[in-house]
Amino acid sequence: MNNNYLKINIRFLAVLWVLFPLTLFAMPDTNHTAKPDSVRYWKFSGNTGLTFNQLSLTNWASGGESSASGKVNANTKLVYNKNRFQFESISKLAYGIVGYGGKRIEKTEDRIDLATSATINSDKNWAFSSVLSLKTQFANGYKYPNDSTLISTFFAPGVVNASIGYRYKKSDVFELFLSPASGKFTFVLNQELANKGAFGVKPAVKDTNGMVLVPGSNLFGEFGFNLLANFAKEVSKNIELSSTLNLYNNYLDDNFSNRWNIDVDWETTINFTINKRVQTVLFMQLKYDHNVKLPVFEVVDGEKVQIGEAPKLQFKESLGIGITYNLG
């Protein structure tokens, strides 16, 4: 990638870092003793963080490559609670890059995760609820270190999930949402990826010369069961654990044998607070989606050769020290 791309990414990180704290000033003062009714039912909280890591190697006999990486993230939560009705809006945004000695830039983190829910309390612990969520990314993703093969971009995929069901919540530590009627819609708005059948959409129909006769579909719809579980607790002084598990099962898969496949998205974050502004954060994510095909390799004559594609268990882990700014 050229220097212009690096400059754009650095500016992008800087803009996010500057703009997200400004949302604090747009929120009402919830600490004021005399609050009008339109304000006191609202509660806003969140945080932003900036993490930077650097490695420099000169004449290093063991090998390796100098690198510098940075990540900015912002998490917000807005809740309206009055009588038996509750509205909740949550956003999780993150973007990170790593540069290798000025040679190339790779994306390490790219996340847009938005969710809203409306709940009507019908029991002490159980409540009727509806949830609408959106997951996508900011920028292009490539088959690194090859930065000419596009594998994802904004709204490719974009996953929208609309569910109705019941929410169980006995305390702030644990919350469970069960939906027997949930629609999951995967958008692939990049036609190049849609033609390849990426992320489960129907691929293009081509002739023997590879010319596209019927373009690939830009939407893949599913209907099934959705489970969402949240756990958050301060396990000891200055150590907070939060975990979210999302399971989805498609009732109507065209391939009957696939109807027992369950999509898994499990995130766990552990925050180690050093002081008011500095934290060490361990993040882990485990994913499985039967509609997402990943390369399968085999060693042939001493060389690694791709022999096909298949769904695989995906895992991501990151550990970093950074500056954190609390909102609300």
Asked whether residue 101 is assigned to any structural domain, the reply reads yes
Asked whether residue 134 is assigned to any structural domain, the reply reads yes
pLDDT of 21:
45
CB distance 64 to 37 below 8 Å: no
User: Using CA atoms, how far apart are residues 170 and 147, in angstroms rounded to an integer?
Assistant: 48
Domain that holds residue 150: 3-266
Asked whether residue 298 is assigned to any structural domain, the reply reads no
pLDDT of 38:
58
Number of domains in the chain: 1
pLDDT of 9:
53
Asked whether residue 59 is assigned to any structural domain, the reply reads yes
Omega prior to 180 cis, within 30 of 0: no
Asked whether residue 319 is assigned to any structural domain, the reply reads no
Q: What residues pair up with 47 in beta bridges, in sequence order?
A: 75, 326
pLDDT tens for each residue of the chain, 328 residues long: 444 444 445 455 454 444 444 444 444 444 545 556 556 889 999 999 998 888 888 778 777 888 888 899 999 999 999 888 999 999 999 999 999 877 888 999 999 999 999 999 867 789 999 999 999 999 999 988 788 889 999 999 999 999 999 999 888 899 999 999 999 999 999 999 999 999 999 999 999 898 999 999 999 999 999 999 999 999 999 999 999 999 999 998 888 888 888 999 999 999 999 988 898 989 999 999 988 888 888 888 888 888 888 899 999 998 888 898 888 7
Asked whether residue 301 is assigned to any structural domain, the reply reads no
pLDDT of 314:
94
User: Using CA atoms, how far apart are residues 161 and 122, in angstroms rounded to an integer?
Assistant: 24
Asked whether residue 274 is assigned to any structural domain, the reply reads no
Two structure tokens written together for 209:
């010369």
Among 58, 12, 268, 321, smallest CA distance to 154 is for: 12
pTM of the model: 0.83
Q: b/e string for 226-260 if b means 16 or more Cβ within 10 A?
A: bbbbbeeeeeeeeebeebbbbebbbeebeeeeeee
Asked whether residue 286 is assigned to any structural domain, the reply reads no
